[in-house]
């Protein structure tokens, strides 16, 4: 398990405890990271539950089991799809 920085979109700051731009969690997979973020900041829970895209090193993650390498860049974005 590694220390990972999860970048939030700034509209979510208000929902964190302490107006944070990013959240530090210990996680090795996407699923673990999301659970850990919600545990630290229950205000984010409904947003995460409604569905977000997790972008790791520029690529939208395709699975909650996807491994996050230490040092990877992790961004939360509104869920993406298309027409």
Partner 1 sequence: MAKDGFETLKLVGTRPNRPDGLDKVTGRARYGADFSLPGMLWGAVVRSPHAHARIVKIDATKAEALDGVKAVITRADFPTGLTGEDWNLQENTMAGEKALYDGHAVAAVAATSKLLAEQAARLIEVTYEVLPHVIDVDAAMAEGAPVIRAGAADATVPEGLHPNVVRYMEFGRGDVDAGFAEADLVMERTYKTEATHQGYIEPHACVSKMGADGKGEMWVCTQGHWYIRKMSAAVLGIEASQLRVTPTEIGGGFGGKTTIFMEPLSLALSKKAGGRPVKIVMSRSEVLRATGPTASASMDVKIGMTKDGKITAARAEFRMQGGAFPGAPVDMALYCCFAGYKLANVHHVGYDVLANRPKCAAYRAPGSPNGAFAVESLVDEMCRKLGLDPVEVRLKNGVTTGDRASYGPKFGSIGLTEVLEAVKAHPQLQAPLGENQGRGFAVGYWFNHNGETSVSMAIGEDGTAQVSVGTPDIGGSRASIALMVAETLGIPYEDVGVNVVETGALGVNEPTHGSRATFASGKAAVEATQAAIKEMCRRAAAEWDIDDEAVEWVNGAAQPAGPNAGKFPPMSIKEIAGKMGQTGGPISGHHESVPDGVGASFGAHVVDLEVDPETGRVTILRYLVVQDAGRAIHPSYVEGQYQGGAAQGIGWALNEEYVYDDKGRLSNTVFLDYRVPVASDLPMIDTVIVEVPNPGHPFGVRGVGETGITPPLPAIANAIHDAVGVRMTHLPINPPKLLAALKAR
CB of residue 64 to partner 1, shortest distance in Å: 11
Neighbours of 64 (CB within 10 A): 13
Residues 3-32 that bind partner 1 (CB under 8 A): 7, 9-15
Query: What is the C-alpha to C-alpha distance for residues 31 and 66, in angstroms, rounded to an integer?
Result: 8
CB of residue 56 to partner 1, shortest distance in Å: 8
Residues lying near partner 1 in the complex (CB under 8 A) = 7, 9-15, 43, 46-47, 50, 55, 57-60, 62-63, 73, 75, 77-78, 80-83
């Amino acid at each position: 398990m590694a220390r990972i920085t999860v970048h939030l979109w700034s509209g979510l700051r208000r929902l964190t405890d302490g107006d944070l731009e990013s959240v530090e969690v210990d996680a090795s997979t996407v699923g673990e990271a999301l659970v850990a973020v919600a545990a630290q900041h229950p205000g984010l829970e409904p947003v995460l539950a409604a569905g977000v895209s997790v972008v790791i090193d520029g690529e939208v993650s395709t699975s909650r089991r996807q491994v996050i390498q230490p040092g990877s860049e992790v961004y939360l974005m509104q869920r993406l799809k298309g027409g």
